[in-house]
Amino acid sequence: MTDNPFRLDGRVVAVVGAGSGIGEATAHRAAQQGAHVASLDLDAARAEATARAIVAAGGSAESASVDIREAAAIRSCFDGLRARRDRLDAVVCTPSINVRKTLLDYSEEEFEGVVALNLRGSFNVLRAAGAIMTQAGRGSIVLVSSIRSLVVEPGQAVYAMTKAGIVQLVRTAAAEYGPRTVRVNALAPGVVDTPLTAPIKSNPSWYAAYTDKNILKRWATPDEMAWPTVFLLSDAASYVTGTVLFADGGWTAQDGRFTPPGM
């Protein structure tokens, strides 16, 4: 453990989904804390742009394109990173998609698409990272869940199912990897200004409803998700595993439907 347990000096951190949103912000903040960052994304150009920006700011980074829906692809990516850098200390997995439709309107193809990326992709990352880290006897993995793992609304069934599934994957992996000193946790964001939530932002009443629902009465920035994630990666969270860190502005802390008179 370093003198500053929040630092990541000398560590190799792979961020899947680093081309945009929470993943991009996390890649930058991990590099700012001293890590060498592998910027990974399905979009090679976006992954490279993030890595270039990190290097331009004085950090250390590389990039690659990877499709986490393909187990062999993510295994090869992580194995190559470990071979080049002689270690893999931390992995963050952020990619998700959401098809907002009622259960009766959902098609089988849409169901398969959401599950393939959100759940199977996270499963593939968890296994590929775990194989390396349990052998090394150290590491930290963070998967991105959501407030939808606990609370739902019409049109969120399949997305919510995958985010709840990620929580159980994290808990099980924490139990299985823990004896090898590998920690596994989940971050559960609330409403964050990212490409995934663009359809909500484009609808003023929808945007306002989400703003009013949380205690802080505003949306989060990607950076406000990146810092909690970096905390979970660091030695500052050395006794934190198998948990879900809600960074939701208080969304899940209150019902918020009615304020009693006189308050």
Nearest to 25 by CA among 4, 5, 52, 54: 54
Closest CA to 167 of 236, 73, 242, 96: 242
Counting Cβ atoms within 10 Å, is residue 53 exposed (0-12), middle (13-18) or buried (19+)? middle
125, 91 Cβ separation under 8 angstroms: yes
At what angle are helices 122-136 and 71-85 packed, to 10 degrees? Answer: 30
Radius of gyration of the chain, Cα coordinates, nearest whole angstrom: 18
121 phi and psi, to 5 degrees? -60, -45
The Cα 15–Cα 44 span in angstroms is 13
Residues designated as active site: 159
Q: Could you tell me the end-to-end alpha-carbon distance of the chain, in angstroms, rounded to an integer? A: 47
| Cα separation, 187 vs 106, whole angstroms | 27
